[in-house]
């Protein structure tokens, strides 16, 4: 679309990057790891907002009418969601990743997979409208 980048993407990358350090303040809950995780989740939200603004120009939700080829791309979205779920399974069992990594990635992966599955159901599956009707 040619949209300009804004501060959201940069700040999102900074917040997500801060989760890999021990530089977060303890905050009112006296736990710097919780603060780090909260900043990381906020950073992911900012990155999503920036990506959506650059990709679609306006809005916040990827409704089906915005998809150029929902029948084909829904399969790629489901595959991407499954890949994130697999990475959640792997990273959730490694000692070098923070404990909630698997949980956070599982939520993201399920949201992506569910979105792709719904679009497939509407575009090519049983929820689709036949042209005969």
Give the model confidence (pLDDT) of 8-26 as tens digits. 889 999 988 888 877 788 8
pLDDT of 87 > 50? The answer is: yes
* Res 101: pLDDT: 81
> Which of 12, 45, 60 corresponds to the end of one domain?
60
Q: How many residues does the chain have?
A: 133
The reply to whether the predicted model has a pTM over 0.85 is no
Q: Which residues contact 37 (CB under 8 A, 6 or more apart)?
A: 19, 98, 100, 104
Query: With bands split at pLDDT 50, 70 and 90, how would you rate the model's confidence at 1?
Result: very low
In this predicted model, which residue has the larger pLDDT, 104 or 5? 104
Report, as an integer, the average pLDDT of 55-82: 88
Query: For residue 87, what are the CA distances in angstroms to 3, 84, 98?
Result: 31, 5, 14
Q: What is the pLDDT of residues 31-52, one digit of tens each?
A: 888 888 888 889 989 988 888 8
For residues 30 and 91, membership in a common domain is answered with no
Domain check: are 42 and 76 in the same one?
A: no
Question: Do 68 and 55 share a domain, yes or no?
Answer: no
Q: Which of 43, 60, 77 is the last residue of a domain?
A: 60
**pLDDT > 70? residue 98:** yes
Tell whether 55 and 68 lie within a shared domain.
Answer: no
| pLDDT range class, residue 130, cuts 50, 70, 90 | low
Instruction: Write the CB contacts of 32 (distance below 8 Å, at least 6 apart in sequence).
Output: 22, 24, 25, 26
Which domain range does residue 14 map to? 1-60
Q: Report the number of distinct structural domains present in the chain.
A: 2
Of 40, 1, 34, 50, the residue nearest 20 (C-alpha): 40
Nearest CA to 81 among 114, 45, 59, 127? Answer: 114
């Amino acid at each position: 679309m040619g949209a300009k980048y804004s501060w959201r993407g940069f700040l999102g990358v900074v917040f997500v990057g801060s989760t890999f350090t021990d530089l977060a303040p303890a905050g009112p809950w006296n736990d710097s790891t919780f603060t780090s995780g909260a900043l990381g989740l906020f950073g992911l939200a900012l990155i999503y907002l920036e990506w959506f603004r650059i990709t679609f120009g306006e809005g916040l939700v990827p409704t089906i009418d915005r998809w150029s080829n929902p029948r084909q791309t829904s399969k790629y979205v489901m595959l991407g969601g499954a890949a994130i779920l697999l990475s959640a399974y792997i990273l959730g069992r490694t000692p070098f990743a923070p404990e909630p990594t698997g949980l956070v990635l599982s939520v993201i992966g399920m949201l992506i997979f569910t979105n792709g599955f719904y679009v497939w159901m509407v575009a090519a599956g049983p929820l689709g409208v036949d042209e005969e009707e």
